Structure 1
Amino acid sequence: MNEEQIKALNLLKTAKGQVAGVVTMLEEDRYCVDVSTQILAVQGLLKKANLLILEQHMNHCVKEAFESGSGDEKVKEIMKLLETYTK
Structure 2
Amino acid sequence: MLNEQEQKNIKARLRRIAGQINGIEKMVEDRRYCVDTLQQIMAARSALNQVALIILESHTKSCVVTAIQENRTEESVKELMDVLSKFAK
With the length of structure 1 as denominator, give the TM-score of the two structures: 0.87
Structure 1 residues 5-49: Cα deviation after superposition (integer angstroms, max 9, x where no partner) = 332222222111100110011111111111111001101101100
Kindly report which structure 2 residues correspond to 1:8-87, keeping only aligned pairs within 5 A, or say none.
Answer: 8-87=10-89
Q: CA RMSD in A?
A: 1.5
Amino acid at match of 2:67: A
With the length of structure 2 as denominator, give the TM-score of the two structures: 0.86
> Which blocks of at least 5 consecutive residues in structure 1 are unaligned?
none
> Which blocks of at least 5 consecutive residues in structure 2 are unaligned?
none
Q: Which residue of 1 aligns with 2:8?
A: 6
Distance 1:49 1:22 in 2: 19
Distance 1:74 1:17 in 2: 35
Structure 1 residues 24-83: Cα deviation after superposition (integer angstroms, max 9, x where no partner) = 111111111111110011011011000000001001111111122222211101111222
- Among all aligned residue pairs of Structure 1 and Structure 2, give the percentage whose two residues are the same amino acid: 38
